[in-house]
Amino acid sequence: MLRALHKVTAGVPELTPREAMAVALPSVSGRDFRFIDLAADDDFALLNACLSVEAACRREAWERLEHLLTLCQFGDGTLDERLRALPLRAFTSAALDLYELGWINR
């Protein structure tokens, strides 16, 4: 049921119901609509909580990426070369951004 509700909202909490339906309608099946008809207030509350967490994670990732790009925007070369050219404190911050974005592992 949660999958069908998520599909109808297009995974975006900021869309109005009309906007969400316009985006999601082509991919929503009759089975999905039957699940939505069975949804209770608790199901919608869970969906809204999931969408809020998802939106917060997306905002944090964009903030990390913007910070990383700010650190690496000046200079020539590949991202690796730009990272290595950073002062130690900036490099540490950039490395944390890369880790939090999931672009590097421990």
Per-residue pLDDT, averaged over 27-32, amounts to 76
Q: Which two tokens stand for residue 49?
A: 């909580």
pLDDT digits (tens, 9 = 90+) for 38-92: 777 788 788 888 888 988 998 999 999 999 999 998 778 888 899 999 999 999 9
Q: At 21, is the pLDDT very low, low, confident or very high (cuts 50, 70, 90)?
A: low
Question: How many helices and strands, by DSSP H and E, does the chain display?
Answer: 6, 0
CA 96 from centroid of its chain's CA atoms: 18
97, with CB counted inside 10 A (0-12, 13-18, 19+), is: buried
Read off the tokens for 75: 């200079």
- What pLDDT score does 66 carry? 95
> Mean pLDDT across the stretch 17-42?
74
- What pTM value is reported for the model? 0.65
